Amino acid sequence: MGGGDKYPNKHELQVHRLQVPATAICTQHDMTLPPAKIDPIALRIITHNIRYAATNLFRHERPWSERLPNILRQFRHYAAGPFNPPSTIICLQEVLLCQLNDLAVAFGDVWTHVGIGRDDGKAAGEFNPIFYQPEYWARAHLETVWLSETPEQPGLGWDAGSNRICTCLVLRSRFAARANRTVMILNTHLDNAGPIARRHGAELIVEYARSWQKKFSVDHMLLMGDLNSTRDEKHGAWKVLNSVGSSFVDVDRLLTPCDVRRFGDKITFTGFDGNGDDDPPGTLDFVHYGLNEKETLLEASHKLESYTVVPNLFDDDVRCSDHRAVVVDLML
């Protein structure tokens, strides 16, 4: 999959914003941006738990070979070609090595990826890979930590049922308008079995994020992935990340209930039967924005262009994953 052949200039980045009619039931949201002093980067973030290539399938689940074409169509639509920002960054979860190889071949040489297997720090177990286009981003730092009491080496944490990791990638912009601006991407998949592991894992991510942000003088920070934690889970990972002092905020919180920048479903985990298979459906997949020092939620909201939950089922009746992808557009 190829990227655009040029980055849009400032005139091409002008956005014609829709306004919620004054007669709408909800409160009108003013989405007028303050004048920009410098050309921003149009950054698209995609996060998707693509479901590992299972051999013991749920009743409505299709094999990876049948799901892959729809996954690729989705990424082509949202990440490839001149109609998508070449700055697009794709974060995936539950990716086995065979799946990673399939995706890397399909994406082609325009894209590169980073990430390691969570079971041995090499090729074993699931990856949390990050895809980006090196023509537009230079890698400044790459690190993976295990969400456990021994984060520097593979291992289970607390009451977790599986090894869990967080992939940290610091990218430096090659765009002329914002050359050398840095973006830190954190990609994680918290444990489905252990509530203590989810909570402590989120706390560990916050701790490391602060350290990395300071160490590498990061300009912008984004955390995404499958938290296996809903917004209303008591003492859950989402609440840890959105607590006072964490520096993170769920981008959905930057939108009003009837905001036209929000599009699609609310639920991100559907299961393959549409009802969560053995678990209840719910919103488990999130993109979190890292607030800069003294930055307000209103200022952060002005940087958000759109928040979309992408369908995972179409007329062919092949659900590409048991999760829906989340796509977030920002002007940084």
Note the pLDDT of residue 60: 97
| Residue spans per domain, the chain | 42-331
Please calculate the CA angle 306-311-317 and round it to the nearest 5 degrees.
Answer: 165
Q: Is the pLDDT of residue 13 over 70?
A: no
Q: What is the average pLDDT across 226-241?
A: 97
Q: Going by C-beta distance under 8 Å and a sequence separation of 6 or more, which residues neighbour residue 220?
A: 43, 181, 182, 183, 184, 290, 292, 332
> CA-to-CA distance for 86 and 46, rounded, in angstroms?
13
Q: Up-side HSE of residue 200: CA atoms within 13 Å toward CB?
A: 16
SS3 label, residue 141: strand
- Nearest 5 degrees, angle CA 156-CA 159-CA 165? 40
Total residue length of the chain? 332
pLDDT value of residue 91: 98
Q: Answer yes or no: is pLDDT of 191 > 90.
A: yes
In the structure, what pLDDT confidence band is assigned to residue 65 with cuts at 50, 70 and 90?
Answer: very high
Q: Rounded distance, CA 245 to CA 280, Å?
A: 31
Architecture of domain 42-331: 4-Layer Sandwich (3.60)
Give the model's pLDDT for residue 2: 43
Average pLDDT in the 264-276 region?
Answer: 97
For 79-130, what is each residue's pLDDT tens digit? 998 899 999 999 999 999 999 999 999 999 999 999 999 999 999 999 999 9
- Please compute the mean of the pLDDT values over residues 203-226 and round it to a whole number: 97
Average pLDDT of the residues of the chain: 91
Cβ-Cβ contacts under 8 Å for 29 (sequence gap 6 or more): 20, 255, 256, 258, 259, 260
Each residue's pLDDT tens digit, 21-55: 444 444 444 555 455 456 899 999 999 999 999 99
Q: Is the pTM of this model over 0.75?
A: yes
